Amino acid sequence: MERKKIWSISLVVFLVVGVLIFMYQIRAILTPFILAIIFAYILLPGVQALVKRRIPVSLAILIIYLSVAAVAAVLILYVFPEVFAELNRFAETVPQYTTQIQKWLGRLNEVYNRFNIPEGIRQVIDESILLVEKTLIEAARNIAQGIIGLVGHVLSIIIVPVLTFYLLKDHELICKKIISFLPPGYRTDLLTLWTRINLVLRKFIRGHLSVACIVGTMTGLGLALVGVDYAVTLGFVAGAADIIPYFGPIIGAVPAVCLALLQSKKLAIKVILVMFIVQQLENSVISPKIIGSSVGIHPLAIIFVLLLGGYFFGVLGMLFAVPLAVVIRVVINYFYQKAVTYRGN
Q: What is the 3-state secondary structure (H, E, C) of the chain?
A: CHHHHHHHHHHHHHHHHHHHHHHHHCHHHHHHHHHHHHHHHHHHHHHHHHHHCCCCHHHHHHHHHHHHHHHHHHHHHHHHHHHHHHHHHHHHHHHHHHHHHHHHHHHHHHHHHCCCCCHHHHHHHHHHHHHHHHHHHHHHHHHHHHHHHHHHHHHHHHHHHHHHHHHHHCHHHHHHHHHHHCCHHHHHHHHHHHHHHHHHHHHHHHHHHHHHHHHHHHHHHHHHHHCCCCHHHHHHHHHHHCCCCCHHHHHHHHHHHHHHHHHCHHHHHHHHHHHHHHHHHHHHHHHHHHCCCCCCCCHHHHHHHHHHHHHHHHHHHHHHHHHHHHHHHHHHHHHHHHHHHHHHC
Q: How many helices (H) and strands (E) does the chain have?
A: 13, 0
Q: Is residue 113 pLDDT above 70, yes or no?
A: no
Backbone angles phi, psi at 280, to 5 degrees: -65, -40
Q: Is residue 36 pLDDT above 70, yes or no?
A: yes
pLDDT band at 129 (very low <50, low <70, confident <90, very high): low
Alpha-carbon separation of residue 311 from 202, 246, 305 (angstroms):
26, 16, 10
Nearest to 201 by CA among 211, 193, 190, 213: 193
CA torsion 13-16-18-22 (nearest 10°) is -170
- Those residues whose C-beta lies under 8 Å from the C-beta of residue 107, and which sit 6 or more positions away, are none
pLDDT of residue 1: 47
Average pLDDT over residues 258-262: 82
Q: Quick check: pTM over 0.75?
A: no
pLDDT of residue 149: 57
Burial of 185 (0-12, 13-18, 19+ CB in 10 A): exposed
pLDDT of residue 288: 75
Q: Is residue 247 pLDDT above 60, yes or no?
A: yes
- Rounded CA separation 57/45 (Å): 12
Report the SS3 class of residue 48.
helix
User: Contact at 8 Å (CB) between 217 and 235?
Assistant: yes
pLDDT of residue 87: 72
Average pLDDT over residues 291-308: 74
Higher local confidence (pLDDT), 5 or 44: 44
Q: Is residue 155 pLDDT above 50, yes or no?
A: yes
Lowest-confidence region among 34-38, 91-95, 181-185, 235-239: 91-95
The amino acid sitting at 192 is T
User: Contact at 8 Å (CB) between 329 and 336?
Assistant: no
Lowest-confidence region among 155-159, 221-225, 229-233, 249-253: 155-159
- Rounded CA separation 214/203 (Å): 17
Q: Is residue 292 pLDDT above 70, yes or no?
A: no
| Average pLDDT of the residues of the chain | 79
- Those residues whose C-beta lies under 8 Å from the C-beta of residue 244, and which sit 6 or more positions away, are 251, 306, 315, 318, 319, 322
Lowest-confidence region among 17-26, 94-103, 158-167, 262-271: 94-103
Q: Is residue 140 pLDDT above 70, yes or no?
A: no
pLDDT band at 221 (very low <50, low <70, confident <90, very high): very high
pLDDT of residue 336: 81
For 154-207, give the DSSP string: HHHHHHHHHHHHHHHHTHHHHHHHHHHHS-GGGHHHHHHHHHHHHHHHHHHHHH
Q: Is residue 273 pLDDT above 90, yes or no?
A: yes
pLDDT band at 310 (very low <50, low <70, confident <90, very high): confident
Give the ranges where 242-298 is alpha helix by DSSP (H): 247-263, 265-281, 287-290
The amino acid sitting at 308 is L
pLDDT band at 320 (very low <50, low <70, confident <90, very high): confident
First to last CA, the chain: 29
Q: Read off the pLDDT of residues 160-187 as tens digits, 9 standing for 90 and up.
A: 888 899 999 988 888 888 888 877 777 8
